[in-house]
């Protein structure tokens, strides 16, 4: 027998569930995105995918005339974030992967002595040149950490990522 209350309740549940469906999916990886901030809130990786862990990378020396253990050799937070992400992109390319294959990112940031604080805005200016663009919409889950120091005293940023390689079809 048809029960209108149960049907309406079921439709309400299904309508509510529609908001919980992923905002984007690519090759079987499901990326749950909420709001406009350019990170995923959760990612689901299907069985059979390979996981690739890249070691933390800082920026390469930008000014070879400067002391390689100084801020002058690497630039500010924005420049270092951009250069670190370029290094990561290059390493991924060697593995046949791209920035869209990154599912998790950890960004370690030290205080910029010129600002007297972490330069989160500078980091985001560089980050958003790689993620959340029309060219590359696949967002990773991401955490940004403030740390006292990094291994190289000239580094303000070190980034590590986890990427996924989907099996050949």
pLDDT at 13 over 70: no
pLDDT at 99: 96
Instruction: Report d(CA 52, CA 95) in Å as an integer.
Output: 9
Name residues whose C-beta falls within 8 Å of residue 158's C-beta, 6 or more positions apart in sequence.
56, 57, 58, 84, 107, 108, 150, 151
Assess contact for 107 and 144: CB atoms under 8 A: yes
pLDDT grade for 29, boundaries at 50, 70 and 90? confident
Give the homologous superfamily in CATH for domain 47-165.
Answer: RutC-like (3.30.1330.40)
pLDDT grade for 169, boundaries at 50, 70 and 90? low
pLDDT at 140 over 80: yes
pLDDT grade for 5, boundaries at 50, 70 and 90? very low
pLDDT at 87: 97
pLDDT grade for 133, boundaries at 50, 70 and 90? confident
pLDDT grade for 14, boundaries at 50, 70 and 90? very low
Beta bridge partners of residue 109, listed in sequence order: 146, 157
Mean pLDDT of 28-55: 90
3-state secondary structure of 27: coil
Provide φ and ψ at 167, rounded to 5°: -65, 150
Mean pLDDT of 79-102: 97
Provide φ and ψ at 7, rounded to 5°: -65, -45
For 109-128, the pLDDT digits (tens) are 999 999 999 999 999 999 99
pLDDT at 1 over 70: no
What residue ranges do the domains of the chain occupy?
47-165
pLDDT at 18: 35
**End-to-end CA, the chain:** 46
């Amino acid at each position: 027998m048809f029960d209108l209350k149960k049907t309406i309740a079921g439709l309400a549940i299904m309508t509510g569930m529609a908001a919980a469906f992923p905002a984007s999916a690519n090759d079987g990886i499901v990326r749950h995105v909420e709001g406009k901030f350019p990170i995923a809130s959760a990612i689901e990786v299907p069985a059979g995918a390979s996981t690739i862990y890249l070691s933390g990378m800082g920026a390469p020396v930008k000014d070879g005339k400067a002391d390689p253990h100084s801020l002058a050799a690497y630039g500010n937070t924005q420049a270092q974030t951009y250069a670190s992400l370029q290094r990561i992109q290059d390493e991924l390319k060697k593995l046949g992967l791209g920035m869209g294959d990154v599912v998790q990112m950890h960004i370690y940031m030290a205080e910029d002595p010129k600002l007297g604080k972490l330069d989160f805005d500078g980091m985001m200016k560089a980050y958003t040149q790689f993620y959340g663009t029309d060219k590359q919409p696949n967002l990773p889950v991401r955490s940004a950490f403030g740390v006292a120091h990094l291994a190289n005293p000239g580094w303000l940023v070190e980034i590590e990522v986890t990427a996924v390689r989907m099996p050949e079809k």
